[in-house]
């Protein structure tokens, strides 16, 4: 997730393919990339990010959007989180997703094994 202003903007190269950060991530094997197409205000994008983290299950102490523990896909969470912005048609419309729909799987920390003991 790239939350910076214009982090998802592609630059036209005339007769050649456009260039930009999203292409670099896709070529490196990133399955999905969330980035902003234009400049956004910090408070609105912070609200959107927090709402998105809760809806995808990345906020560890929260449940899903409907009270369940099943997280939404990244695309579904972004669509739902757009309404949390005060300027939802300006700042809420800036974040887009390149790639395929993904769901985050948050693993709980495993208990540490004491390897100093021998059986």
Closest C-alpha among 39, 44, 51 to residue 79: 51
Active-site residue, from 5, 9, 26, 50: 5
Phi/psi zone of residue 20: left (φ > 0), alpha (ψ -120 to 50 degrees), beta?
Answer: left
Burial 83-110 (b: 16+ CB within 10 A, else e): ebbeeeeebbebbebbeeeeeeeeeeee
Catalytic residue check, 30: no
Active-site residue set: 5
């Amino acid at each position: 997730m790239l939350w910076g202003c214009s982090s998802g903007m592609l630059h036209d190269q005339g007769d050649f393919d456009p260039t930009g950060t999203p292409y670099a991530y896709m070529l490196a094997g990133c399955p999905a990339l969330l980035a902003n197409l234009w400049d956004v205000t910090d408070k609105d994008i912070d609200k959107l990010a927090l709402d998105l983290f809760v809806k995808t299950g990345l906020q560890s102490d929260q449940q899903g959007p409907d009270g369940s523990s099943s997280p939404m896909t990244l695309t579904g969470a972004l669509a739902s989180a757009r309404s949390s912005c005060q300027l939802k048609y300006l700042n809420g419309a800036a974040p887009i997703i390149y790639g395929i729909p993904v769901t985050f799987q948050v693993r709980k920390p495993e208990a540490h094994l004491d390897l100093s003991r021998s059986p």
